[in-house]
Amino acid sequence: MGIARDIFDYLRQPVFTRNKEKLDRRAFVTMTKIMALKFVITVIVFFIVWKVLGGIGIERPSSKVNTTRHFHLKNFMLVAVILPFIEELFSRSWLGRVWGVLFIAPLYFVGMSLFIGKLSPEIRPIIYAITLIVWMFYLLNLMKYGWSGQVEHFVQAVFPAVFWFSAASFALLHVSNFSNNDLGLLSVFLVVPQFIGGAFYGYIRMRFGFLAGFYCHGFWNGSLTGLSFVVMLLRA
């Protein structure tokens, strides 16, 4: 329960900190517990969401991910190593840096908003609205703290918004993974698992550093890929 309490306390009010815990054996044990909790929460929320949506006649679109009966190392490396590294690099590597919150975050807001809007037009109003709200919050705090040189106060004030925008944009980026998607704005429900993942990876990144977030992200993707392959073989 200690791990769960620590995570939920942090997610209620994300706090910027430069101090990271050492990435040692004890840290890996803790991260294993965190990922186990992530799995339980993801499964529960996923089934609740689709039970409700299924009850009103909404079917889940199929994934564009190509499954095959043959294991391909290149595909596995792409899903378990390359893509997690790229996603963590762009979404969270800068999250634990003052310069990241000050300079990268504003560019990230705009860049991800435009990219997601182009990639998934059906959710363009949502990502644009989120970006506008975060930008206004960012600018209001910049006027309050920035001009007087209170950098630390400014970073702490805007960090929760930056943290949650990172998690939300990470999730919405995955809407394009689904084909035959005619859900419109309801497409956001497709990526509830990714939103949970973004929050957990953000917590891990802030607690243990960038590499820890990458390891956990890669482990999750690799595990799901391997499990899907095994299940497919059993059904063959």
Contacts (Cβ under 8 Å, ≥6 apart) of 64: 176, 177, 178, 179
Q: Which residue has the higher pLDDT, 70 or 90?
A: 90
Instruction: Let me know: does 124 contact 117? Beta carbons within 8 Å.
Output: yes
Question: Residue 207's Cα: distance from chain center in Å?
Answer: 15
Banded model confidence at residue 66, pLDDT cuts 50, 70, 90: low
Span 3-55, pLDDT tens digits: 999 999 999 999 998 888 999 999 999 999 999 999 999 999 999 988 887 87
Span 184-221, pLDDT tens digits: 888 898 899 999 999 999 999 999 999 999 999 999 99
pLDDT score for 49: 86
Alpha-carbon gap, residue 188 to 177, rounded angstroms: 12
pLDDT at 69 over 70: no
Both tokens assigned to 96: 């634990």
pLDDT score for 68: 52
pTM: 0.92
Contacts (Cβ under 8 Å, ≥6 apart) of 68: none
Alpha-carbon gap, residue 65 to 14, rounded angstroms: 33
Instruction: Let me know: does 217 contact 88? Beta carbons within 8 Å.
Output: yes
Alpha-carbon gap, residue 4 to 15, rounded angstroms: 17
pLDDT score for 114: 96
* Long-range CB pairs of 151-156, under 8 A, 24+ apart, other chains included: 151/98, 151/102, 154/102, 155/16, 155/98, 155/101, 155/102, 156/15, 156/16
